[in-house]
Amino acid sequence: MHDRDLPRNSANFVPLSPLSFLLRAARLWGRRTAIIHGARRITYAEMLARSRRLASALAEKGVGPGDTVAVIAPNVPALLEAHYAVPGLRAVLCPINTRLDSAGIEFILRHSEAKILLADRELAPNVSRALAAMADPPHLIDIADADMPGLPALAATEYEAFLAGGDPAFSLLLPEDEWDAIGLGYTSGTTADPKGVVTHHRGAYLNATAMALEFGLTAESVYLWTLPMFHCNGWTFTWSVTLAGGAHVCLRRVDPALIFPMIAEHGVTHLCGAPVVLNMLIHAPASVRQRFERRIHIMTGGAAPPSIVIERMEALGFEVHHLYGLTETYGPATVNAWQPERDALPIAEKALFMARQGVPHPLLADMAVLDPATMTSVPADGETLGELMLRSNTVMKGYLKNPAATEAAFAGGWFHTGDLAVLHPDGYAEIKDRAKDIIISGGENISSLEVEETLFRHPAVLEAAVVAHPDEKWGEVPHAFVTLREDAGAVAAEDIIAFCRARLAHFKCPRIVTFGPLPKTSTGKIQKFSLRALARKDISA
Ligand code: ADP
């Protein structure tokens, strides 16, 4: 092709940025509802004007290109608006996990060098403590909420007053380069200090587009915010819903007593949640639980959903979609894309298929299960274990101020997920464990997920996690930690073990069962590292 004289220019090359979704939504659907929060309704025209005001007020405070703006808040309009205002200033948005303690918040504020922190009043104790420990804390803006009356002010300037001082005509700018950073999200740091994942405009645009496409979001969609927006920008739905022109329904607290009536009241069509959230909906008291006649799509991931959870959720009338990904991949990277021939399968078999992590989402460039030592593919036999690796425009730029971790994550030209998987003959990947969670007993690998899958089927079990227990003879044996349902009655460890032995190879069955509540990470995942510590203590005792 003799096209060398046809260079890029501003007519034929525009940086990809999800900011453009809001600009278009306001133009197209200015009068449609963009945000529902309690009794409030914000249209797309207002959402854009509010985002412009926020950007201009932040600029007044000295925020400019490349600066970090942190937000710590539950799912309220301010956090959504920050997803457009901050990138529109060419600054970087750093949403902070609301469940962190003050030391965790302080670590992120220091590491990210945040200039401004927008903080919800409800989080005042931890936020104040974190800021008090810093010599040069970020400037604080206080987010008040009509739904939480009576809380004392956290800072001199309240969010709405801050917006009121901003300019509703302020120009939100697309990035100079689509590779510029848009966000900074911290991993939960289960093993070491959290790592700061830097994402870019292009990846956010592509991932959000893939989600809208995969889940059929339209201007009629009503999306309920059961997934924290701070977690990978709400798996990029903070942008996908706006792209489609659907309505964002904010929710401060994941509580089935709020969720079921809100689904009914607002005609919710889509929501996301970790498997623990699905489990919470399934086990909600009968007085709260509702069955809906229309289809409601629920996207789950973040941890492996046991197939029984999928099955029960479908029985409640939800259409379950399974996603897999990491903070490093803007959240969702693979999906369990549905195949029509599975429709005829009995629900239990369907759910087993759906529990597989699946195939690349529409805009993920490539996925492979490789032997990390040789970087060659494992056979697609559903048995050989390898590491799941990804390559995509929707993989992070790298870890902030951590070249060693960045280099390790990208070794050999693939992003190493740290998850061990098999590839089925149909090309669907199934995760067996995180590399650090796999149990090795007498030289055999035991997938903790497979044992948990069985435990979840026991009628008395509410939740379960399996970790390695040191063993003199076998090296490691499975140790199950189990939470029973409230109405379970008396269940002994032997009952649980016998249940597993009837369904699993004996070497995979738990040798030890401990009953009680399970420790969760700030993103609602079961903290296997602390269970492992308990298992180790158990043996040294
Ligand atoms: P953290 O590593 O701090 O938990 P992430 O949210 O980035 O933070 O977690 C990504 C990890 O979560 C993946 O590496 C994987 O182990 C697990 N995960 C996410 N989705 C799934 C899923 N659908 N099935 C199994 N594991 C999952």
- pLDDT tens for residues 74-122? 999 999 999 999 999 999 999 999 989 999 999 999 999 999 999 999 9
Q: Do both 159 and 69 map to the same domain?
A: yes
519: CATH: 3.30.300.30
Tell me how many domains the chain contains.
3
Determine which of 423-432, 452-461, 516-525 has the lowest per-residue pLDDT on average. Answer: 516-525
Residue 519 belongs to some domain of the structure: yes
Domain end, chosen from 403, 434, 465, is at 434
Q: Do both 354 and 447 map to the same domain?
A: no
Q: Do both 462 and 408 map to the same domain?
A: no
Report angle CA 520, 524, 525 to the nearest 5 degrees: 65
The pTM (predicted TM-score) of the whole model is 0.94
Average pLDDT over residues 514-541: 82
pLDDT value of position 541: 44
Q: Do both 114 and 260 map to the same domain?
A: no
Q: Do both 265 and 410 map to the same domain?
A: yes
Question: Is the pLDDT score of 540 beyond 70?
Answer: no
Which residue's CA is the nearest one to ligand 1's atom 13? Answer: 326
Question: Is the pLDDT score of 50 beyond 90?
Answer: yes
Residue 236 belongs to some domain of the structure: no
Determine which of 208-212, 411-415, 471-475 has the lowest per-residue pLDDT on average. Answer: 471-475
- How far is residue 308's CA from residue 457's CA, in Å, rounded to a whole number? 6
Which of 504, 501, 405, 529 minimizes the C-alpha distance to 447? 504
**CA 101 to centroid of ligand 1, rounded, Å:** 21
Q: How confident is the model at residue 521 (pLDDT cuts 50, 70, 90)?
A: confident
Q: Do both 193 and 66 map to the same domain?
A: yes
**CA 187 to centroid of ligand 1, rounded, Å:** 10
Q: Do both 277 and 191 map to the same domain?
A: no
Report whether residue 329 contacts ligand 1, using a CB cutoff of 6 Å. no
Report whether residue 453 contacts ligand 1, using a CB cutoff of 6 Å. no
Question: Is the pLDDT score of 539 beyond 60?
Answer: no
Q: Do both 265 and 333 map to the same domain?
A: yes
Average pLDDT over residues 495-518: 94
Determine which of 26-30, 182-186, 300-304 has the lowest per-residue pLDDT on average. Answer: 300-304
Residue 149 belongs to some domain of the structure: yes
Report angle CA 69, 415, 404 to the nearest 5 degrees: 70
Which residue's CA is the nearest one to ligand 1's atom 16? Answer: 434
Q: What's the domain range around 523?
A: 439-540
145: CATH: 3.40.50.12780
Which of 26, 154, 144, 174 minimizes the C-alpha distance to 78? 144
Average pLDDT over residues 235-257: 97
Residue 244 belongs to some domain of the structure: no
Residue 209 belongs to some domain of the structure: no
Residue 5 belongs to some domain of the structure: no
- Sheet of strand 376-377: strand arrangement: 376-377, 366-371, 386-391, 415-423, 429-434
**Per-chain mean pLDDT for the chain:** 95
Which of 457, 454, 400, 388 minimizes the C-alpha distance to 424? 388
